[in-house]
Amino acid sequence: MSGNEPEIEALLSDLKNPSETVRQRATQELWSRWFRERGILGLELLQRAQTMMQAGDMPQAELLLTKLVADLPDFAEAWNRRAVLYYTIGEYRKSLADCQRAIELNPVHFGALHGLGLCHAALGEYQDAIGAFRRALEIQPYALDNQRLALHNYGMI
């Protein structure tokens, strides 16, 4: 989080605000910061990989993201984007590992925590899935997807 800790802490606090508008603004700002964490080049490479994924060119997107995590191993969003790619193509163990790395680098990355839960669920590891969704809810308590997945689908209270 470097020199922006007070700003990040304020945004994280806003994720818990009863106002949906405040929460949405904070969510968008955090995503923007995570994508821009390694400057314009990192952002452009993530966008290029996303365009490849949307076009169905998963092999090229995987190559680009693998190079990006090799070149910038501390870029949490690059790991998270590759986790999304792996999840999309059914490589749940690889996705799980990339989610874990993203979370190690950015412990408040609610997107990576959500992805971690999805991977565990896809692998039939339901208790681990519930734990990941609950961790995401600690950061983003109003996230309906995580509430539904943690509470309703798995019968947890």
Report the CATH number that the domain containing residue 67 is assigned in CATH.
1.25.40.10
Task: Supply the mean pLDDT for the chain.
Answer: 92
Domain that holds residue 141: 107-157
Q: How far apart are the first and last CA of the chain?
A: 33
- 140 and 121 housed in the same domain: yes
pLDDT band at 85 (very low <50, low <70, confident <90, very high): very high
- 85 and 46 housed in the same domain: yes
- 89 and 142 housed in the same domain: no
- 93 and 125 housed in the same domain: no
pLDDT band at 1 (very low <50, low <70, confident <90, very high): very low
- 29 and 15 housed in the same domain: yes
- 93 and 49 housed in the same domain: yes
Total count of domains within the chain: 3
Give residue for tokens 């839960």. Answer: 117
Structure confidence at residue 157 (pLDDT): 38
- 43 and 90 housed in the same domain: yes
Asked whether the beta carbons of 114 and 133 are under 8 A apart, the reply is yes
Burial (0-12, 13-18, 19+ Cβ within 10 Å), 131: middle
Q: How many CA atoms lie within 13 A of 69 on its CB side?
A: 20
- 113 and 137 housed in the same domain: yes
CA distance 2 to 125: 34
CA angle 79–57–74, rounded 5-degree value: 15
pLDDT, tens digit, 9 for 90 and up, residues 38-55:
999 999 999 999 999 999
pLDDT, tens digit, 9 for 90 and up, residues 126-150:
999 999 999 999 999 988 776 777 6
CA distance 60 to 143: 32
- 79 and 136 housed in the same domain: no
- 18 and 50 housed in the same domain: no
pTM: 0.90
- 100 and 111 housed in the same domain: no
Which residues have C-beta within 8 Å of that of residue 127, sequence separation ≥ 6? none
